[in-house]
Amino acid sequence: MRVLITGVDGYLGWPLAHALARRGHLVAGIDALLRREWVAEMGSQSATPILDIDSRLTVFREVHGEDLRFVPGNVCNYDLVEEAIRDFMPDCVVHLGQMPSAPYSMIDAHHAVFTHQNNIVGTLNLLFALRDLAPNAHLVKLGTMGEYGTPNIDIPEGFFDIEYRGRRDRLPFPRQPNSMYHLTKVHDSANIHFACRVWGLTCTDVMQGVVFGTRIDALNGDDRLLTRFDVDQAFGTVINRFCAQAVIGMALSPYGRGHQRRGFLSLRDSIQCLALIIENPPDGAGEYRILNQFHETFDVYDLALVVQGTARDMGIDVEIKTVENPRIEAERHYYNPDHQKLFDLGYRPTRTVREEIRETLEDLGRFAERIRLCRGAILPSIRWRERKPRPSPVGGF
């Protein structure tokens, strides 16, 4: 299969390219390398040492005996997207080329506007280019479980059948996202739904939980193939931040009381799921398939306890110290999302969360010096309500 990955230089894009190449697919990629700049803007860098893009491409060829056909550039440039689709004629486009951080989108009006423009325009360009040049290709788009927010009812996979005042319909499940970033993903979902309904495009919109971890098998223990691993307040996801904190002996820092409940899955399983989705497109043209992609739900404080316990087994003692929640979000809430469709496609979780956390801690141990350099970027200073970041308070509560 010919698979075009936008955002191929990213946390998911890079390991996905390797996994697909190992499975015999032909891979092309687009990336403007902006993630590297955003993380630098946050005063941080990848905890894992990653190669520059040219070296990555050289190693890719060496490992797989096949080029990753790389287009440097931005998916917000329509002509570039059109040319990439026309040249490569993909069977599948995996769209990961977006700004993925909630805190980054909440810094101020300019970052909120940037996030909207960057994320929405890239997706629109892909939808129009597919409509006009490759209407039978399958678009796989990364959404987020955060699109749904935390309603007081079960969360289905995208659509639900309801009765209202005695009549019935099958409708998109209402979204109540909690950051400017999450809003852009909701807007994308509405735009993609339109493209399927009106233009007959075939798309899978992946409502992904929080991804964590360092490894996938296709990376094969070869350090030149390492994917990035961010630990800063904006681009580091919560388990990754806890693991980084543990490795440098810094207290783990759940936000608020830490009872926010979310769905999680490992990097390894995220890539497994994406490969399953790519190799099993929806049956019918014009289908808009939504999948909820996560392994288990946890409350954030419980995860801190797991990281603390696993670290202790490895001889590292760390405290847990809650910090004032910089976000506005429910800290205790009902949370019961469905996640059956990926299991039906063949998804089998490869590790328990505890096992995966152990591997992550082991891997990060080698990079403790690099993490120490990012130490000042880990705790939250971007707040949901105010424009000017304030210093975070001393201690927890």
Q: Which residues lie below 8 Å from residue 142, measured CB to CB, with a gap of 6+?
A: 12, 94, 95, 96, 98, 206, 208
Minimum CB distance to its own copies smaller for 45 or for 184: 184
Q: How far apart are CA 382 and CA 389, in angstroms?
A: 5
Pick from 72, 87, 172, 249 the residue near its own copies by CB under 8 A: 172
Smallest separation (angstroms) from its own copies to the CB of 136:
15
Q: Residue 190, interface with its own copies (CB under 8 A)?
A: yes
The amino acid sitting at 163 is E
Smallest separation (angstroms) from its own copies to the CB of 153:
4
Smallest separation (angstroms) from its own copies to the CB of 74:
13
Q: Residue 130, interface with its own copies (CB under 8 A)?
A: no
The closest of 74, 238, 208 to 142, measured between CA atoms, is: 208
Which H or E run includes 305?
A: helix 300-313
Minimum CB distance to its own copies smaller for 2 or for 193: 193
Q: Residue 129, interface with its own copies (CB under 8 A)?
A: yes
Stretch that binds its own copies, among 33-41, 124-132, 266-274, 303-311 (CB under 8 A): 124-132
Q: Residue 134, interface with its own copies (CB under 8 A)?
A: no
Q: Which residues lie below 8 Å from residue 315, measured CB to CB, with a gap of 6+?
A: none
Minimum CB distance to its own copies smaller for 152 or for 221: 152
275: left (phi over 0), alpha (psi -120 to 50) or beta: alpha
Q: How far apart are CA 273 and CA 264, in angstroms?
A: 13
Residues 140-159 close enough to bind its own copies by CB under 8 A: 151-154
Q: Which residues lie below 8 Å from residue 397, measured CB to CB, with a gap of 6+?
A: 322, 324
Contact 188, 123 (CB under 8 A): yes
Smallest separation (angstroms) from its own copies to the CB of 348:
27
Pick from 22, 23, 69, 116 the residue near its own copies by CB under 8 A: 116
What mask, x for binding its own copies by CB under 8 A, covers residues 292 to 321?
------------------------------
Minimum CB distance to its own copies smaller for 302 or for 324: 324
Pick from 91, 199, 251, 375 the residue near its own copies by CB under 8 A: 199
Residues 318-377 close enough to bind its own copies by CB under 8 A: 328, 334
Q: Residue 128, interface with its own copies (CB under 8 A)?
A: yes
Pick from 37, 66, 132, 313 the residue near its own copies by CB under 8 A: 132
Q: Residue 160, interface with its own copies (CB under 8 A)?
A: yes
Smallest separation (angstroms) from its own copies to the CB of 273:
25
Burial of 69 (0-12, 13-18, 19+ CB in 10 A): middle
Q: Residue 285, interface with its own copies (CB under 8 A)?
A: no
Burial of 287 (0-12, 13-18, 19+ CB in 10 A): middle
Using only the alpha carbons of the chain, give its radius of gyration: 20
Six-digit token string for 56: 């990555």
Contact 70, 57 (CB under 8 A): yes
Q: Residue 64, interface with its own copies (CB under 8 A)?
A: no
Residue-by-residue DSSP string for 219-237: GTT-GGGPPP---STTTS-
Name the residues annotated as catalytic: 144, 181, 185
Smallest separation (angstroms) from its own copies to the CB of 341:
17
For the chain, how far is it from start to end, CA to CA, in angstroms? 53
Q: Residue 259, interface with its own copies (CB under 8 A)?
A: no
Six-digit token string for 88: 């490569």
Q: Residue 120, interface with its own copies (CB under 8 A)?
A: yes
Q: Residue 289, interface with its own copies (CB under 8 A)?
A: no
Sign of the Cα torsion 361, 337, 291, 193 reads negative
Q: Which residues lie below 8 Å from residue 255, measured CB to CB, with a gap of 6+?
A: 300, 322, 323, 324, 325, 326, 327, 380
Stretch that binds its own copies, among 115-123, 205-213, 221-229, 375-383 (CB under 8 A): 115-123
Smallest separation (angstroms) from its own copies to the CB of 197:
8
Residues that bind its own copies (CB under 8 A): 78, 108-110, 112-113, 116-117, 120-121, 124-125, 128-129, 132, 151-154, 160, 162, 164-165, 167-169, 171-178, 180, 183, 186-187, 190-191, 193-194, 197-199, 328, 334, 384-385, 387
